[in-house]
Homo-oligomer: A and B are copies of this chain.
């Protein structure tokens, strides 16, 4: 008998019919002899409706009160699912974050879980009940309702699984697993049976929005086996776990991630003195703009060229700041480009295989794709290219790293 935490997102509980379907699914798992803790999001659209209501009162809704309002979304779905389960003869009880006692810090709208009291849940499981918990929410030391921020229901699921030492945390979504790359770009993309936490983190942070990064980090930290599955289609999904089989034969690259969300800024002819990076990036970060890739080249005339990427939404603001900085430090010029894309190959197999980066560059060169920036980590190589080459780059890399689905090869 396994203890499984199952998390269903907003579209999975988006209507009474969907909730009934989830209840059917949970009943099957229960009848197979599993102990079950179900974590739910609000009905899709409900959180936005509540936020809109609050914004009618104030553009900047008070975070404490916003949490009071928004947390009602999950409170409705847990009650409905508990009813639907009991109707099917499956004893079930619902708990809000506060009732479980999911203790968080007091950072309203973006709280972090500090501790989970597992007493009530364990007693219910022992009594044969399915426990239905509101995701995305908790309570601080003073009894104030808190929320974990968008996508926080995944984190609730993983945190509960960690606290209960569950055998698996299953995240039900609208995709049937994690793919080698986006199937809309590469028809031969394959579902991965397994992926490591580290790889998943890289994939997630690079734009594969299957799971919340925080939830994956949490799962990795507490070693909670995480499985991504489709809410309403049968299938094994993708298991995200620690890399137990490092010695065994495995693909070098697990997947290819990409995004079009970034813009590139370059400041040229910067007098190359110590502290210049801070002088350039300090004002950017002071404006709360996140910087992703950073590249610095030393030029021949003792000046340096400094390039970095930011989210496209921050491009205008970053450009203004950079132009100011340029005048202050006496740089030659500032240029920018929003028509870029980032493509990354991700895989723990890289660690034990030399020449992965060069195979990537070779493959891109063959297609005549110019690389604008490069950044590497232990399990990932990212390049920035012109946006128009994105699909071509992803497809050629998918083939070069032997990720194409065999059945479909030659399509």
A contacts, CB < 8 Å to B: 16, 19-20, 50, 53-54, 56-58, 61-62, 64-69, 71-72, 75-76, 78-80, 82-84, 86-87, 93-94, 96, 98-99, 120, 143-145
20 more contacts with CB within 8 A, not counting A16-B53, A64-B82, A65-B83, are A54-B79, A57-B80, A58-B84, A58-B86, A58-B87, A61-B83, A62-B83, A62-B86, A65-B79, A65-B80, A65-B94, A66-B79, A66-B83, A67-B79, A69-B75, A69-B80, A71-B75, A72-B75, A72-B76, A120-B143
Closest chain B residue, CB of each to CB of A132? B65
Which residues of chain B come closer than 8 Å to A99, judged between CB atoms? 143-145
State the copy count for this chain.
2
Shortest distance from the beta carbon of A42 to any chain B beta carbon, whole Å: 10
Which residues of chain B come closer than 8 Å to A58, judged between CB atoms? 83-84, 86-87
What is the bound-complex CA distance between A53 and B76, given in angstroms? 9
Q: A62-B86, A75-B68, A86-B62 are in contact. Are A80 and B93 (CB under 8 A)?
A: no
Closest 4 CB pairs of A and B: A72-B72, A69-B79, A68-B79, A65-B79
- 12 of the cross-chain contacts (CB-CB < 8 Å) are A19-B57, A57-B80, A57-B83, A58-B87, A62-B82, A68-B79, A68-B94, A69-B79, A71-B75, A75-B75, A96-B145, A98-B98
Closest chain B residue, CB of each to CB of A100? B143
Contact indicator A57/B69 (Cβ below 8 Å) = no
